[in-house]
Structure 1
Amino acid sequence: MRFLDKLILIILLSLNFFNNSFADNHNIYETLEIIKNDLKTLERAVYSGSIETSASTNQQSNIDLDSNSEDVLTRHLLKLSQVEDQFRQLTNKFEEINFKLDKLSNRLSKIQADNQIRFQDLESAISSGDNTTQLSSKPKTDTTKSEILPGSSQPQDLGTISYKDTETPETSQQIQSVDTTASVVTETFQAEEKILPQDLSPKKQYEFATSFLKVGDYSTAERAFREFVVSNSEHELAGSAQYWYAETFRIRQLYTDAASAYLEGYQKYPKGNKAPINLLKLGVSMVQIGEKDQGCKMINGVELQYPKANQSVIQKAKYESKKFECIKEDS
């Protein structure tokens, strides 16, 4: 509006000039009409430009706001996607760690169970040294039984085997039956460097050999117990040493060698502290190498041969008999 006011003022001054200069002009009215029309046209042009300018300004601001909103939304969506990816990765890592922990827990449970069994055997070996009176001096036999266990005073199939006769040049053993007993072969002990301290008493040597079992060095324990049995075959701990010698094979799943060592212990030390458990382990080893009939006969014969043995051994024999489905023969 200021622009129009100035323009009107200029026109009025021009009219005054025209009035002074052209007083005698009779066409002033026509000139004014022309100027009015021009002013109206100019006014419309000015108002139209301002409206278009304001409209374009509003439209541009709306476009800028929409563009800013889209940019903000896009940034939030990208951030949310990154958070989802990180959460997914953390979930996968958690599941992987949980799976590893389950495996580790199962492995520790197995190791704990295995160690518990071994320590129980060691504790029973130590405690049985003071409880020799619990075992009968002579095993009671059932006169109604027509069969006698192999390896007893009246040997039958298994008891008639001589270890020297079982030596063969063949490199592999063929398991057939106990009658031919290629499956039970004693190990020929070769002279090696002494393991047991020679300046110690037999009892200390026995404890020294047992220490290898406690740390899991079964190959060295095998040599140590064998050396003890050879050097102290008449000692009261020889039967126990022979039993642990056989155990070193069983723990390593060498069941044929274990059966041979158990059999030697059963025949040489039938009245030793470890005789009942030795007979039980002999029967189990026989079953594991494929001689189920002979093995079951020995497992079922533990209670008959050693009726005053520890109840844990008798209960273990019953469990193994049921486990291997051994059929007890009626009298």
Structure 2
Amino acid sequence: MGKFMKKTLILSVIALSLTSVLPAHSQEMVGIQDQIDALKEELIVLNRKVYRDQADSAVSVTSTGAASFGEYDEIIRSLNGKFEELEYKIKQMDERISAMNKDIDTRFNMIEGKPIAAASGSIADQKKFGASVANGAPKSIVGDTVTSGTLKDLGRTQESVDSLYKKGLEALKGNDLIAAEQHFQLILSDYASDKLAGNAQYWLGEVYYKDQNYAKAAVAFAKGYENYKDGNKGADSLYKLGLSMSQLGKKTEACTALKNVPTEFPKADSELLGKAKSQAAKLGCN
């Protein structure tokens, strides 16, 4: 696969992996901005009231005036509390955006083959990109799979990889997509260097594809192609990456993947090569 075309496909998959993160941040920023605007309005109203009372110089400061000042103090304390709450929210937002920027930098370093620093407390230190890969497989283009801490507890008792794999396939066959996803992800989290990891990565993509979550499917198949290219599901992963991109309306990326199936895997199953060629023709790939 040409370097330029491969990088285009890589960047598209990275963008897909971030789509679920950015909207949440932007919505939260809108909410914070609304609160700031509301506080500005409250300050304007308070200032007008203060100036209006000061203009009434003929009225002496009585118990009523003392009550008014007490009212102002209460309003100011309330505003100070709201400002402190906003400062805390903005600090949290800044920390999340900073972490996301480090995440993006790490992914681009992986694309360019640069070393990834594993500083204490960093994303790399948390093993987000630290999974083992198959021998001879190229560097991952979209990072490692999620850690086991993000998965639902399946009552794990060091279950064997073969048992997890069998249960995952049975769940997928029975259309229990949640259970299938959990079992395949456990394999990728706990048995990333096992011979079945490449298969688990591919079937995880199939779980998302069957659920019509084509963005997640594209990311999963891209990982299968990059991390386990030399495994028996390498060609299938690249083919299904092309189909996922097609479903997302990304013709250029879909054509890049489909047209490179026979180039990258000339000894792949003839039926798969035929399907890749047929799908490329159907999309009108040049």
Instruction: Compute the TM-score of the two structures, normalised by the length of structure 2.
Output: 0.52
Contact 2:146 2:185 in 1 (8 A): no
Contact 1:196 1:227 in 2 (8 A): no
SS in 2 for 1:277: helix
Which position in structure 2 is the counterpart of 1:171?
Answer: 24
Shift of 1:277: 0.7
For 1:156-305, list aligned pairs within 5 A: 156-159=7-10, 166=18, 168-171=21-24, 191-195=150-154, 198-305=157-264
Q: Which runs of 5+ in 1 are unaligned?
A: 1-140, 151-155, 174-183
Distance, in Å, in 2 between the alignment partners of 1:172 and 1:313 is 41
Q: Which amino acid aligns with 2:182?
A: R
Q: Which amino acid aligns with 2:176?
A: D
Contact 2:152 2:182 in 1 (8 A): no
Which position in structure 2 is the counterpart of 1:60?
Answer: none
Are 1:326 and 2:179 matched, yes or no?
no
For 1:73-222, list aligned pairs within 5 A: 147=3, 150=6, 156-159=7-10, 166=18, 168-171=21-24, 191-195=150-154, 198-222=157-181
Which position in structure 2 is the counterpart of 1:81?
Answer: none
Distance 1:233 1:281, change over 3 A: same
Shift of 1:266: 1.4
Distance, in Å, in 2 between the alignment partners of 1:316 and 1:231 is 34
Distance, in Å, in 2 between the alignment partners of 1:205 and 1:325 is 40
Q: Cα deviation per residue 1:277-313 (whole Å; 9 max; x = unaligned)?
A: 1100001111211210111011010000000011111
Distance 1:285 1:231, change over 3 A: same
Distance, in Å, in 2 between the alignment partners of 1:196 and 1:276 is 34
Instruction: Compute the TM-score of the two structures, normalised by the length of structure 1.
Output: 0.45
Shift of 1:228: 1.1
Contact 1:185 1:257 in 2 (8 A): no
| CA-atom RMSD in angstroms | 3.1
Distance, in Å, in 1 between the alignment partners of 2:3 and 2:220 is 24
Distance 1:166 1:193, change over 3 A: closer
Distance, in Å, in 1 between the alignment partners of 2:155 and 2:262 is 36
Q: Which amino acid aligns with 2:23?
A: E
Shift of 1:206: 1.0
Distance, in Å, in 2 between the alignment partners of 1:241 and 1:289 is 23
Are 1:317 and 2:276 matched, yes or no?
yes
Contact 2:169 2:180 in 1 (8 A): yes
Larger radius of gyration: 1
Shift of 1:157: 3.2
Higher relative contact order at CA 8 Å, sep ≥6: structure 1 or structure 2? 2
